Amino acid sequence: MINSIAKLSLILLIAGCASQIEKEAEPLSNPFFGLEPSDSVQLLAPNIISSSLFEYNGTFSPDGSAFYYTVNLPNRGQIVFLELGEDNIWSEPKFAKFSSNFSEVDPMFSPDGSRLYFTSNRPTSDTSDVKRNNIWFVEKSGNNWSRPQLVTLTDTGDYYSSVTSNGDIYFNTWTNGDIYKGIKTDSTYLVERLPDVINLDKSVGDPFISPDEDYLIFRGANLENTIGGFDLYISFNIDGEWTNPMNLGEPINSNAGEICPFVTTDGKLFIFASNRLLNDFEPKPNKSINPFRIKSESYDNGSWNIYYTSTSIIETLRTRATEENRGVY
């Protein structure tokens, strides 16, 4: 009888924790989910977007009516999206309409919202069976997207793209880990490697370029003043030269990892991914493992989640970079 009561109590405890988690997930409404910029770092849409799964690469459409991000499946990444309905309520997360049976990650809107760029290892032609990452895009056609179109750059494993207002594209390659810029021409791109001040280490990547090309945010692991595994850094384009990368600091960076930076087109929200723990778990000797099971099924399990904060740090660091560039300390 005692064992039955204990089992029932455990079931009720787990059910209570699960129901408490469910109650946290209220329907999302309004453009940009109604988010207000704050200098504190906030988890994005707990139990709707940020969950027990691996989520990263968050990007809003310029008008804030669509949100795309990446979710890791057991054998590949897939792009997921939500849309704001006519009732001002967001849809549930769904796999992207252009999804394939191949790995697809890194969604990023163009500044005008007419295109969505992404990374895929789908074959580049009907006769090709090579599985290599390339950058693709879909174009807006009414309420739908066009068929994916290949962006020809280096063909050496291109990924994680970000586009300026004039159509130039910044991206990574797998072959050497460097960040490149593709300068748009009439029919293709003229590709050039960014200078050594950016490509200081093979850990750099995930470039986000501002629409006006006045700053670049990217991840790095072995750069100066690194706080955790991967940190986010910013470099400013001043008088045509990129400044020394500056760590975005806490609370954006942490002793965990931070990747996939994105700034909304209106310049108000800074989005990124982190695998930080909000609350540590300490196992207690001779105690049940069930509390850990509950935690591992929640968003606070050490997997990648999406966070947001204000962009105020960008202007703060821009002032400092400008002063350093002019020799004012």
Mean of per-residue pLDDT scores for the chain: 89
Q: How far is it, in rounded angstroms, from Cα 217 to Cα 248? A: 9
- Which amino acid is it at 134? N
Q: Which residue's structure tokens are 């988690």? A: 21
> Which residue in 252, 253, 235 sits closest to 311, CA to CA?
252
Q: What residues in the chain have per-residue pLDDT under 50?
A: 1-22, 329
pLDDT of residue 328: 52
pLDDT tens-digit profile of 209-244? 999 999 999 999 878 778 878 999 999 999 999 999
Q: How far is it, in rounded angstroms, from Cα 66 to Cα 61? A: 5
> Which residue in 57, 55, 69, 60 sits closest to 32, CA to CA?
60
| Cross-strand partners of 181 | 170, 192
Phi, psi (deg, nearest 5) at residue 215: -150, 155
The pTM score is 0.89
pLDDT of residue 166: 95
For the chain, the domains span 2-325
> Which residue in 282, 281, 271, 283 sits closest to 311, CA to CA?
271
> Which residue in 142, 214, 216, 204 sits closest to 176, CA to CA?
204
pLDDT of residue 222: 75
**Tokens for 71?**
């979710």
Contact between 56 and 70 (Cβ < 8 Å): yes
pLDDT tens-digit profile of 158-199? 999 999 999 999 999 987 889 999 999 988 999 999 999 999
| Number of Cβ atoms within 10 Å of the Cβ of 304 | 22
pLDDT of residue 48: 96
CATH number belonging to domain 2-325: 2.120.10.30
